[in-house]
Amino acid sequence: MKKALFALLLIGVLAIGVVASGCIGGGGTTSSPTQTTQTTTTSSPTQTTTTTSSPTQTTTTTTEEKKVTIVIWHAIGPNELKAFEDLIAEFEIEYPNIDIQLEQKADLETSLKAAIPAGQGPDLFMWAHDWIGKFAEAGLLEPIDEYITPEILNKFSPMAQNAIEYGGHYYAMPYAAETVALIYNKDMVPNPPKTFDEMKAIMEKYYNEAEGTYGLATPMDPYFLSGWVHAFGGYYFDDKTKTPGLDKPETLQGFKFFFEQIFPYVAKTQDYNAQVSLFHDGKAPMMINGPWSIPDVRNAGINFGIVPLPPIDDKHRPHPYGGVRLIYVAKLNDPSKKDAIWTFLKWFTTNPDVIKTLSLQNGYIPVLTEVLNDPEIQNDPVLYGFGQAVQYAIPMPKSPEMGAVWGPVGTAITDIIAGKKTIEQALQDAQKEILDAISGS
C-alpha cells in the first residue's frame, strides 16, 4: 500500500509540482490544494475509511478497529485472583481489540439470576459445573455448539467433556477439576495404602478414642460419602432418568460399607473443621479431603502425600463426586460479541501455558490432557495425586432436581450417626422426601 501511495504522490509532483505530505496508515491523510473526495465504508469490527485522489484528488486509507469488552463475573478468592488477572493481561496484549473486565460478586448465583433476565448480566461467569442444568433450563445460558468440535472436546479429560454439556447443547468451557483423595501423613504412614485392607489396618493401628486419636479424619456429608456409595453401583440421583436412587440395594450396600468399615475408626462429629484439625494436629494419620485443603495442611507443617481412595477389591473401587470449574457463557444481549467471546474462551481453556500456570500457581487440577501429561505437573505430588484421583471421579449430577437431593441425604447421614434411624429407614425416608420435592407434593 505504501508503494502505491508513493507512486501517486510522485505523479502529483511531476504534474503540478506540489508534494502532498502526511502519515501513511493508522489514520493519516494526504491532500492536494484543489479537491478532496472521501468515500467511507464501515464494517464490524473494523471500520475502514477510503479517500480517492489524483493530482486534484487524494487517497488515504484509515483503519480504526472496534474494541470489544467482555465482562466476567466470578467469586474467586483473593489468593487465587492474581493468576487470573496476570493471564488476562497477557491475553489483552495478544488481542488488543478485546478488553476483559473481571467483576467479583459476593452472592454470584443471586446476582446472575437477577441480572441476566434484565439484560444487565455479564458475558461470562465462573463456577462449578453443577449449575449448568438449572441455568440452562432457566434460559440464562448461551449455547456455543457451533464452536465445540470433536477436536476441541478431545483436548479434555472425559469428566470435563461431560461437564460442559446439558440437554444436547454446550454452554461452557472447562479449565480445572477437583475431587477428594486420601491425604496421608508420611511421618505416620511411610507407604500409602494400595488397597482398602491396607487402609483399614492403618486405621486400626492408630484408633484410640480414649487418647483422642483416630484412624481417619473425614468430613461426613453427601459429597464426602459419595465415593463409597458409588463403589458398589449405588447413587443419590441419576441425571439420565432424573430419579433418586436411595432405595437401591447398591446404595444401601455402599452406606453399610462406610458405617461398618470406616465409621468405627473416625471421630463421631460432622463438624468439618473438627475433622480437619485431627489431621493437622497429628491425631489422625490420614484424611479424606480435596485440593482446597492443601494450603492449611502445608501451614500445619505436615509432611504429606496424596493418593486416590484405594480400591476395596477387584470389582469395587471408590468413585467420589468431582466438580469441574467452568467458564459459562451467559445469555447474550449482543450476539455480535460471540466470536470475540469464543476467542477468549478457546485461548484461556485450551492454551497449555494458561492451564499450567493456573495449576502451578493456584493448585488447580488440570483437565487439559496435554497439561496432565506435562512432566512438571506429574512431578508435583499435589497436582499428580489429585490428578490421578480425578480419573476415578464421577461428575456431580447437573440436573436442577439435584437441588432437592443434598438436604435429605445429609439428614439421613445425620440421623444414622446420631442413632435416630437405621441405615435402611434413613435412606427410605430420604428417597420419599426427594420424590415429594421433585413432584411438588
Q: How far apart are CA 31 and CA 18, in angstroms?
A: 10
196 class by beta-carbon count within 10 Å (0-12 exposed, 13-18 middle, 19+ buried): buried
Cut 0.85: pTM above it: no
Structure confidence at residue 64 (pLDDT): 53
Domains defined along the chain, listed by start: 68-178+323-395 (3.40.190.10), 179-322+398-440 (3.40.190.10)
Of the candidates 41, 40, 42, 34, the one whose C-alpha atom is nearest the C-alpha of residue 58 is 34
Position 215 pLDDT exceeds 60: yes
Confidence of residue 9 (pLDDT cuts 50, 70, 90): very low
The fraction of the chain above a pLDDT of 70, given in percent, is 85
Angle at 419 between CA 418 and CA 422, to 5 degrees: 130
State the pLDDT at residue 361: 95
- Cell triple for 240: 439420565
Question: What local confidence, expressed as pLDDT, does residue 343 receive?
Answer: 98
Dist. CA 161–CA 192, nearest whole Å: 31
Helices marked H in 33-178: 78-94, 108-115, 132-137, 150-153, 158-163
Q: Which helix (H) or strand (E) holds 426?
A: helix 423-439
- For 25, residues 6+ apart whose C-beta sits below 8 A from its C-beta are 1, 2, 61, 63
Do 415 and 421 touch, CB atoms closer than 8 A? Answer: yes
pLDDT given for residue 18 in this prediction: 34
> Would you call 328 helix, strand, or coil by DSSP?
strand
Judge whether residue 20 has pLDDT over 60. no
pLDDT confidence of residue 440:
85
What average pLDDT score do residues 144-162 get? Answer: 96
Alpha carbons within 13 A on the beta-carbon side of 411: 16
Q: Which residue type occupies 209?
A: E
Average pLDDT, the chain: 88
pLDDT over 70 (residue 59):
no
Residue 66: pLDDT band (50, 70, 90) is confident
Residue 441 pLDDT: 65
Contact 245, 233 (CB under 8 A): no
Q: Give residue 43's pLDDT band: very low, low, confident or very high (50, 70, 90).
A: very low
**Grid cell at residue 412:** 439421613
